[in-house]
């Protein structure tokens, strides 16, 4: 960083707490409810706001020096940040923990843990993405259809009519099984399943607030368990990679395809550490996003009986109770609209986070190098100028609207459009089509539905639902929802 860039002060409008703890308090408020807190900031300061006037905050950046944090929303900001690839960099999902990668042998796995495409930029990003594309080609994705259907069928067989379950946990387990099967080639209970569970445990503990405030490798602290987990994960993944190299190119799972990938001109492939980084990111970003999209969609259908009834009619008329083929998914327009509208009103990924690689200008304000820029997907999706009555769950709006990639971007946009978007949409639609034909899920108001999360938005206390046969009793369980989810979507009283 040059003296010039270090001297620039962040002048974007924002709150200016008077106490020394004000910056930390604002970071904690953002972590606790990023959507609710920033909605207040946007209402007060406009579509571009800083977490703390003058800067000095650090939420996501893995750089040693972070001038501050800025939040923006709206299609023009989405376009600028998403398309200016050389200015707005991505950083590893491990965030500030990434700085510790060189501290000791214990922290060495942080050099690649959940780095992947999030940790490479410019030419390296383009090269890595090109190497990964064969694993996410449409024809390759469609080959996973049978695995998804088999795992969904197994999951649905485990539900019991008349019992109440936390559907968010059910969907998380289902998508974790799909991720381990398609990524590693093995389902839960086999070697791939144990790695999937270890990945899930590691990601869960990584989100603990104490990880940031008590990052000490001492007995009893989450940071010690986190380092233990990533060490176990590193050993298990390297063993699996060695096995796949030994058997050659017979497998068609994503990990095998990444190991086989070669640059057409140079003949070079991904290093083992790079493969490890990509595998962790694909698992984390893939199954968490899909599980939350499924959970929120099932919740919305439980509160909109007419839409749920119409969707079952469409599914039954086309599928006759069977799981859809890939070709049949194109014959289910209401299913497509329901998923799109669900991901608009309750976006599973609320933010697109970047860090400026050089001094730049955004919205008329100078941003120093290293500034965190969080683009609000959620707030953009709730702009009344783009979506009239934005808090209404109205799948029929998609019959007449065709928003640009900057107005509707649940999978981001530009050069960093989610590489697994096609896979995720196929998985979500397959699971919904199978579940809705077999069961009616009745919302049970046992807990407040409180949103939580910055990387993904999930229900903090779960999503309790009672399992019924498809008995058409759609009005049962409608209403009675408590919690801050009501700030985001219109629901019956």
Ordered domains of the chain (ranges, CATH)? 3-487 (1.10.630.10)
Distances (CA, A) of 4 to 1, 57, 65, 71, 210: 8, 20, 14, 24, 35
User: pLDDT, tens digit, for every residue of 446-492?
Assistant: 999 999 988 899 999 999 999 999 999 999 999 999 999 999 999 99
Burial of 72 by CB count in 10 Å (0-12 exposed, 13-18 middle, 19+ buried)? buried
At residue 213, the pLDDT reads 77
| CA 33 to chain centroid | 16
User: pLDDT, tens digit, for every residue of 150-205?
Assistant: 999 999 999 999 999 999 999 999 998 998 899 888 775 444 457 777 887 888 88
CA separation for the pair 201, 205 (Å, rounded): 6
- Answer whether residue 3 shows pLDDT above 60: no
* Other C-beta atoms lying within 10 Å of the C-beta of residue 164: 14
At residue 228, the pLDDT reads 95
Per DSSP, the three-state class of 217 is: coil
User: pLDDT, tens digit, for every residue of 43-96?
Assistant: 999 999 999 999 999 999 999 899 999 999 999 999 999 999 999 999 998 998
Give me the mean pLDDT over the 366-394 stretch. 98
Q: Which residue has the tokens 């796949």?
A: 244
Length of the chain: 493
Q: pLDDT above 70 covers what percent of the chain?
A: 97
Give me the mean pLDDT over the 1-13 stretch. 63
At residue 6, the pLDDT reads 45
CA separation for the pair 428, 127 (Å, rounded): 29
CA separation for the pair 163, 311 (Å, rounded): 24
Kindly give the residue spans of alpha helices, DSSP state H, lying in 320-389: 326-329, 333-345, 377-381
User: pLDDT, tens digit, for every residue of 285-314?
Assistant: 878 899 999 999 999 999 999 999 999 999
At residue 37, the pLDDT reads 97
Closest of 325, 320, 310, 283 to residue 424, by C-alpha: 283
Strand arrangement of the beta sheet that strand 69-72 belongs to = 48-50, 69-72, 372-376, 351-356, 88-89
Are the beta carbons of 23 and 17 closer than 8 angstroms?
yes
Q: Which residue has the tokens 């699996």?
A: 240
- Whether the model clears a pTM of 0.85, i.e. scores above it, the answer is yes
Burial of 238 by CB count in 10 Å (0-12 exposed, 13-18 middle, 19+ buried)? middle
- Answer whether residue 39 shows pLDDT above 80: yes
Per DSSP, the three-state class of 453 is: coil
Q: Which two tokens stand for residue 277?
A: 């980084």
Burial of 336 by CB count in 10 Å (0-12 exposed, 13-18 middle, 19+ buried)? middle
User: pLDDT, tens digit, for every residue of 116-147?
Assistant: 999 999 999 999 999 999 999 999 999 999 99
CA separation for the pair 393, 335 (Å, rounded): 14
- Mean pLDDT, the chain, rounded, equals 92
- Answer whether residue 332 shows pLDDT above 70: yes
């Amino acid at each position: 960083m040059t003296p010039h860039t270090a001297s620039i002060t962040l002048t974007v409008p924002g709150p200016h707490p008077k106490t020394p703890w004000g910056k930390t308090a604002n970071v904690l408020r953002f972590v606790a409810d990023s959507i609710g807190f920033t909605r207040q900031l946007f209402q007060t300061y406009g579509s571009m706001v800083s977490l703390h006037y003058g800067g000095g905050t650090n939420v996501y950046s893995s750089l040693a020096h972070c001038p501050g944090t800025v939040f923006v929303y709206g299609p023009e900001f989405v376009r600028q940040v998403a398309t200016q690839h050389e200015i707005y960099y991505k950083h590893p999902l491990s965030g500030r923990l990434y700085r510790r990668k060189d501290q000791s042998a214990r922290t060495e796995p942080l050099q690649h843990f959940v780095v992947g495409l999030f940790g490479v930029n410019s030419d390296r990003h383009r090269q890595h993405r090109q190497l990964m594309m064969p694993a996410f080609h449409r024809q390759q994705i469609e080959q996973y259809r049978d695995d998804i259907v088999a795992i969904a069928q197994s999951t649905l067989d485990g539900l019991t009519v008349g019992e109440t379950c936390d559907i968010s946990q059910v969907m998380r387990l289902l998508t974790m099984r799909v991720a381990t099967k398609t990524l590693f080639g093995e389902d839960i209970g086999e070697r791939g399943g144990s790695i999937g569970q270890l990945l899930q445990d590691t990601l869960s503990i990584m989100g603990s607030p104490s990880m940031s405030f008590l990052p000490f490798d001492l007995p009893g602290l989450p940071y010690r368990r986190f380092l233990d987990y990533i060490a176990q994960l590193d050993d298990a993944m390297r063993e699996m990679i060695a096995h796949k190299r030994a058997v050659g190119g017979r497998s068609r799972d994503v990990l095998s395809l990444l190991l086989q990938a070669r640059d057409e001109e140079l003949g070079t492939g991904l290093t083992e550490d790079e493969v490890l980084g990509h595998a962790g990111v694909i698992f984390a970003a893939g199954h968490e996003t899909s599980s939350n999209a499924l959970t929120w969609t099932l919740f919305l259908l439980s509160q909109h009986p007419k839409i749920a009834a119409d969707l079952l009619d469409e599914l039954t008329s086309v599928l006759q109770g069977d799981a859809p083929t890939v070709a049949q998914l194109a014959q289910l327009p209401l299913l497509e609209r329901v998923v799109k509208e669900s991901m608009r009103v309750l976006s599973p990924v609320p933010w697109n986070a970047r860090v400026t690689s050089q001094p730049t200008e955004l919205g008329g304000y100078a941003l120093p190098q290293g500034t965190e820029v969080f683009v609000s997907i959620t707030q953009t999706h709730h702009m009344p100028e783009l979506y009239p009555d934005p808090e209404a769950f109205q799948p029929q709006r998609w019959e007449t609207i065709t928003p640009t990639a900057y107005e509707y971007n649940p999978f981001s946009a530009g050069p960093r459009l989610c590489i697994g978007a096609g896979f995720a949409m196929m998985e979500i639609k397959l699971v919904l089509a199978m579940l809705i034909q077999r069961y009616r899920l009745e919302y049970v108001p046992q807990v407040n539905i409180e949103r939580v999360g910055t990387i993904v938005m999930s229900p903090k206390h779960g999503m309790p639902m009672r399992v019924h046969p498809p008995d058409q009793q759609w009005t049962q369980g409608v209403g009675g929802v408590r919690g801050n989810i009501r700030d985001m979507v219109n629901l019956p009283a």
